[in-house]
Chain A
Amino acid sequence: MRLRQNLTIRQKHILWAWGLLALPVIFYVVIRFYPTGNAILLSFQNWNLLGDRTWAGAENYIKLWHDDVFWKVFRNTFVYLLLGTPISLVISFLIAFHLDRVRFMHGFIRMLYFLPFMTSAVAMAWVWRWFYQPVPVGIFNNILASFGIPQINFLNSTTNALPAVLAPAVWAGLGFQVIIFMAGLRAIPQSYYEAARIDGVSGFTILTQITIPLLKPTIIFITVFSSIGFLRIFDHVFNMTTNNPGGPLNSTKPLVLMIYDTAFNGFNMGYAAAQTVVLFTVLLCVSLLQLYLLRDR
């Protein structure tokens, strides 16, 4: 009691702050930082979840380097990123750009585009999987058939399966990007457009000289946000290829699915941890690139 009275206001203030933060700090240390360290440590060990953890040095990383499946998976992951990000960026910009100029039923149309964002990836993966089935089940092949076009083998083909899995992921993310783009467009001062109009500048020049440069922060944000999403793709792939996850012949397998398989089907914990470190490094590079690009705003 005496001690409390002797504290200055400033000291009480500091005590309060640490008191309020005590539980959260423990949470972050135990549930975030310790596991991160543990994952990195585990990547230098061998462990099958039952016996002892044995030191392996860089063995797991060397094995990864020589693993053909890993390189296949690594490539797939970047194909998801390199197809998914530009496609969703362009489509969402086009929608946002035009939707911004529409007033009649604006809110309703915006709702239509946003609705898929509220769905669960697992549920929609099954819906799209159904769409991709051969005649007479799947809608896409039925439409093709009604025009007399030959059937497309979507999910059982090593070339078509990856784009087929990617499509619902792009579809579900569009609404979010449209909303962010529209907010970015609204933040551009109207006076810039008025000045350009007075100068008689063409619409295309306005787009490339005013709109897009001023949207740079929005574009970078959306690019990084969706890149991280595509690099971590899992739910769609797992559910659209459950009979053979990541198949056919690993043609749709992304890094996260390989991690899941290695750890929880193969029980090769050290090897899986090494794969998670690779994923972490890739995501870190993407985030740092964002900070670098945004530095001179």
Chain B
Amino acid sequence: MGRIQLHDIRKSFGAIDVLKGIDLTIDEGELVVFVGPSGCGKSTLLRMIAGLDKPTFGRIEIDGTDVTARSAADRGLAMVFQSYALYPHMTVRANMAFGLQNTNMPKAEIDTRIGEAARMLEIEPLLERRPGQLSGGQRQRVAIGRAIVRRPTAFLLDEPLSNLDAELRVSMRAELSALHDRLGATMIHVTHDQVEAMTMADRIVVLRAGKVEQVDTPLNLFNRPANLFVAGFIGAPGMNLWAGQAKGVSVQLDSGALLPLPLGVRVPDGPVTLGIRPQHLRPEVGGPIRAEVRLIEALGPESVVHADMGAGGGLLAVLPGQPDLGRGAVIELGYEPQFVHVFGSDGQRLA
């Protein structure tokens, strides 16, 4: 239970097309993360699946049944809102019971379910309190609890961690993943935070401007981004992307450097964009990349080096340890050729 299929979902507000034809299958029990910059349509897509908004065109199926015309209540889904949307005048218990009471469920059954969920989320001592008396993290748990008691076919989470402080966000991230393992239910999680996406997802859906850019596992997105956008969006700090001309087995960058391509990789001669992740650059005497250091962010175990290759070619390198480099120093860098990404002039991956 909990297989969700989207067929050519489109949404327009007046003349503005927010979603431009989304096809996607989310398998039973999967934790899928929708990620993308603000305004890419990820929340709109989630609301469409929830039934809070209707698509302008397209079909939504849950477990093979077309639910496009069904109301939100009839889809068997539960949503956790960014603001938690807890009823401020009700106790935690009443908040969790509210949805179940709509279905005329016997009180004993409601109590059992609330008890189970409260134990699982460790919020038993909070049951008689009101949301106003809870911390952000506690409210978050209650909001999840309110979803769990309904035993939905799938959970929809709309940026549930964005209102938490950094430390709490990391621990809640792990807890949500653990909860997903425990419940085994389908979850769709919306976020603009690519670290959240990478750490939690079985599969990530990268959206931009109402279109799916790539759907894949976190590591595949990192290792083989399908296009320039995904390459730049996934990974922190972002991938170095340099414009250049492919010539045989190497690429001549606009900044002057001549970089070899991996063995056996041939791309047609012409304009390309070459990408190397900052983590894949390493100091190498006589290496193909020479750059002048502009800034060093020393993080302790590693250092982020901002450097200038000349002719406007900026560079980011994450070097291990605390290299003894000053502003203005010239560094020589190399890389393993298999970590090079090449994108054509249309932005799509060539190699």
The yes or no verdict on A and B being binding partners is no
Interface residues in chain A, defined as those with a beta carbon under 8 Å from any beta carbon in chain B: none
Interface residues in chain B, defined as those with a beta carbon under 8 Å from any beta carbon in chain A: none
